[in-house]
C-alpha cells in the first residue's frame, strides 16, 4: 500500500463536501476551523461546490465529483479534508476517476460517512487514506489539543509512534455550546488479550458495510479492524452489522472498537454479550472504548496502513502510515 506524501508547513489543504454541505456550519464555525488550520501552518482552500445545499443538505453527484477530481488534480493541493459526514458519500463511488487519483496520490482525511469514500479509494488506488478529523472538527475548543496532536503525528510524521488514551472524553453537543461541556475520565478497555501486527481497515461500521458486494470493499481478511458507530446505532443493530463484517472478513487479526455515544444504550454487559457470540474474538487482541468515532476527542488512523496492537498493555502503535 503506497503512502501519500506527508504534509509540510505551508502546504495547501483543500476542503470538499462529499457528504453534507458546508452550509450546515455557521460562518463563525467555518472561520474558527480555518483559522486553527492556518495556525498550524497550512493554507486552506475550498472546493467550488462546498456551499451548495439541496433537500438533503448536500449537492449533486456531479458537483461533488467535480470538487473531488479538482482537488486531486491540483498540484498545489497536498491534502483533502472533508467538511463533515452525512448519509450519501457512497453515491460517488461509481463516478470517481480512480486513475486520476492513482496518478496523484495525496492525503484524504475524514470519518463517519467518509468511511465509504476513504476505503473505496484505498481499495481501488492502493494508497493509504485516513480516518480522522473533518474540517468541522477543528471548530471544537475543548479536547482539541489531543485531536490535533494525533492529526499532526499521522499526517506530518514519518516515524512509528504510540497512541495513548486521552485524559478525558466528552459526548456532549459541543458545537452548540463550547463553554458548558461535560468531561469524563478516559479508560481504554480489554475484551481479549493478545498481540499482533497487521494492515488496518475500518471506520464507521454501518457505512463500511455498505461497500460489501461492491468493487470498493477492501480485502479485510487477516487485517486489524477498527469500527465505531454513531447515535443511530443500538446494541441490536451493532450486533447485526458486526456479524456481517466478520463474515465478510473470513478471519481477522485484531479488533479496535471506538467509544459508543451514550444515546446508543450500549452498556458493557451488552457489548460483552455481542462479542461473546464470536469465538474468533476470544483468540485475538480486542480493545474497546478507544478514542475514535463520534465522541470527542478522536485520533487519526491510516486506512490501509500498518499498526501493532498489544491489547493487555493497552498499546496501539502506528507503524506504516
- Pairing verdict, β 161-163 and 315-320: antiparallel
262-289 pLDDT, tens digit each: 999 999 999 999 999 999 999 999 999 9
Q: What is the pLDDT of residue 243?
A: 98
40-50 pLDDT, tens digit each: 999 999 999 99
200-240 pLDDT, tens digit each: 999 999 999 999 999 999 999 999 999 999 999 999 999 99
Sheet harboring 107-110: ordered strands across?
Answer: 43-46, 12-16, 77-82, 107-110, 129-131, 301-303
Domains 12-145 and 162-320 share a fold: no
Superfamily of domain 162-320: LD-carboxypeptidase A C-terminal domain-like (3.50.30.60)
Task: Give catalytic residue positions.
Answer: 112, 228, 294
C-alpha cell at 265: 444504550
Mean per-residue pLDDT, 163-177: 97
Beta carbons of 101 and 72 less than 8 angstroms apart:
yes
Beta carbons of 97 and 124 less than 8 angstroms apart:
no
pLDDT band at 320 (very low <50, low <70, confident <90, very high): very high
83-108 pLDDT, tens digit each: 999 999 999 999 999 999 999 999 99
Q: What is the pLDDT of residue 28?
A: 97
Structural domain boundaries of the chain?
12-145, 162-320
Beta carbons of 251 and 242 less than 8 angstroms apart:
no
pLDDT band at 114 (very low <50, low <70, confident <90, very high): very high
Number of Cβ within 10 Å of residue 231's Cβ equals 12
DSSP 8-state secondary structure symbol assigned to residue 30: H
C-alpha cell at 102: 492513482
Beta carbons of 200 and 303 less than 8 angstroms apart:
yes
Mean per-residue pLDDT, 112-134: 98
Please give the model's pTM, rounded to 2 decimal places.
0.98
Q: What is the pLDDT of residue 188?
A: 98
The string of DSSP letters for 265-319 reads ---HHHHHHHHTT-GGGGSS-EEEEES-SSSBS---EEET-EEEEEGGGTEEEEE
Q: What is the pLDDT of residue 7?
A: 98
H or E, element range at 190: strand 189-192
C-alpha cell at 178: 463550547
Mean per-residue pLDDT, 70-85: 98
pLDDT band at 260 (very low <50, low <70, confident <90, very high): very high
**12-145 in CATH: which number?**
3.40.50.10740
Burial of 292 (0-12, 13-18, 19+ CB in 10 A): buried
pLDDT band at 255 (very low <50, low <70, confident <90, very high): very high
Q: What is the pLDDT of residue 184?
A: 98
How far CA 276 is from CA of 45, 115, 196, 260, in Å, comes to: 47, 26, 20, 18
Query: 229: alpha, beta or left, given left = phi > 0 and alpha = psi -120 to 50?
Result: beta
pLDDT band at 154 (very low <50, low <70, confident <90, very high): very high
Q: What is the pLDDT of residue 101?
A: 98
Is the previous residue joined to 297 through a cis bond, with omega within 30 degrees of 0? Answer: yes
Amino acid at each position: 500500500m503506497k503512502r501519500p506524501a506527508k504534509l509540510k508547513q505551508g502546504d495547501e489543504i483543500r476542503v470538499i463536501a462529499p457528504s453534507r454541505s458546508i452550509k450546515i456550519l455557521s460562518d463563525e464555525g467555518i472561520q474558527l476551523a480555518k483559522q486553527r488550520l492556518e495556525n498550524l501552518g497550512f493554507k486552506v482552500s475550498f472546493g467550488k461546490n462546498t456551499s451548495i445545499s439541496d433537500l438533503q443538505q448536500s449537492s449533486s453527484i456531479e458537483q461533488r465529483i467535480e470538487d473531488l477530481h479538482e482537488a486531486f488534480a491540483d498540484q498545489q493541493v497536498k491534502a483533502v479534508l472533508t467538511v463533515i459526514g452525512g448519509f450519501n458519500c457512497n453515491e460517488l463511488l461509481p463516478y470517481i476517476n480512480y486513475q486520476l487519483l492513482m496518478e496523484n496520490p495525496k492525503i484524504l482525511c475524514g470519518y463517519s460517512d467518509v468511511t465509504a469514500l476513504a476505503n473505496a479509494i484505498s481499495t481501488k488506488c492502493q494508497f493509504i487514506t485516513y480516518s480522522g478529523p473533518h474540517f468541522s472538527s477543528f471548530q471544537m475548543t475543548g479536547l482539541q489539543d489531543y485531536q490535533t496532536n494525533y492529526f499532526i503525528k499521522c499526517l506530518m510524521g514519518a516515524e512509528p509512534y504510540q497512541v495513548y488514551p486521552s485524559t478525558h472524553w466528552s459526548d456532549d453537543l459541543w458545537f452548540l455550546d463550547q463553554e458548558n461541556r461535560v468531561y469524563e475520565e478516559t479508560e481504554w478497555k480489554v475484551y481479549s488479550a493478545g498481540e499482533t501486527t497487521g494492515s488496518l481497515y475500518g471506520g464507521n461500521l454501518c457505512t463500511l458495510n455498505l461497500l460489501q458486494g461492491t468493487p470498493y470493499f477492501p480485502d479485510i481478511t487477516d487485517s486489524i479492524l477498527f469500527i465505531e458507530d454513531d447515535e443511530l446505532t443500538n446494541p441490536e443493530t451493532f450486533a447485526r452489522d458486526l456479524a456481517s463484517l466478520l463474515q465478510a472478513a473470513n478471519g481477522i487479526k485484531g479488533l479496535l472498537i471506538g467509544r459508543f455515544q451514550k444515546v446508543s444504550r450500549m452498556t458493557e454487559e451488552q457489548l460483552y454479550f455481542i462479542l461473546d457470540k464470536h469465538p474468533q474474538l476470544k483468540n485475538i487482541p480486542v480493545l474497546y472504548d478507544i478514542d475514535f468515532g463520534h465522541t470527542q476527542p478522536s485520533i487519526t488512523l491510516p486506512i490501509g496502513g500498518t499498526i501493532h496492537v498489544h491489547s493487555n498493555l493497552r498499546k496501539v502503535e502506528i507503524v506504516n502510515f
